[in-house]
């Protein structure tokens, strides 16, 4: 739900993860540019778990040889949402299984992030289509 340069101007976004037979993960980022009626586009990345004890540290690679470290810093016990950041904490994503979160859930997540020292002032909800 946080917009960054490669996500700027994207709407109706979705991250789809699929476990591969080799244990790595395919990550498909789907989006539309600026408008809900724009064609659906997709970027594919490869991800893998760096810390198998916690499963909370991942590497993500859209373009070889560049990788980004993702850290899962909060997770719903029922896996309905998660919060992902990078080590610098300058980027935050709130990801949900559904197209939107209940407002009270979103507020609770943001409050927890604030309580843990995250700057949530630039979080932005990304407009979502019906699914």
The CATH architecture of the domain made up of 10-115 is Beta Barrel (2.40)
pLDDT for position 105: 96
H-helix segments, the chain: 103-115
Output the pLDDT for position 31: 93
Q: What is the pTM of this model?
A: 0.85
Long-range contacts of 68-73 (CB under 8 A, 24+ apart): 73/113, 73/116, 73/118
CA distances (Å), origin 123, targets 44, 91, 108: 24, 9, 14
What is the DSSP code (8-state) at residue 80?
S
Residue 46 buriedness (CB in 10 A; 0-12 / 13-18 / 19+):
middle
Q: For residue range 47-63, what is the model confidence (pLDDT) as tens digits?
A: 999 999 999 999 999 88
- Mean pLDDT of the residues in the chain: 89
Matching residue, tokens 């993702």: 70
With cut-offs at 50, 70 and 90, classify the pLDDT of residue 102: very high
How does residue 131 score in pLDDT terms, banded at 50, 70 and 90? low
Mean pLDDT for 105-125 is 93
């Amino acid at each position: 739900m946080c917009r960054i340069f490669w996500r700027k101007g994207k709407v109706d976004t979705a991250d789809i993860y699929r476990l591969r037979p080799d244990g790595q993960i395919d990550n498909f980022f789907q989006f539309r540019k600026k408008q809900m009626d724009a064609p659906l586009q997709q970027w594919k990345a490869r991800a893998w778990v760096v810390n198998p004890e916690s499963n909370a540290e991942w590497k993500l690679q859209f373009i070889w040889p560049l990788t980004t470290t993702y850290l899962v810093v909060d997770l719903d016990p029922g896996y309905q949402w998660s919060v992902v950041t990078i080590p610098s904490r300058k980027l935050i994503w709130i990801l949900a299984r559904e197209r939107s979160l209940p407002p009270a859930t979103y507020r609770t997540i943001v409050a927890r992030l604030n309580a843990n020292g995250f700057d949530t002032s630039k979080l932005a909800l990304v407009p979502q289509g019906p699914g």
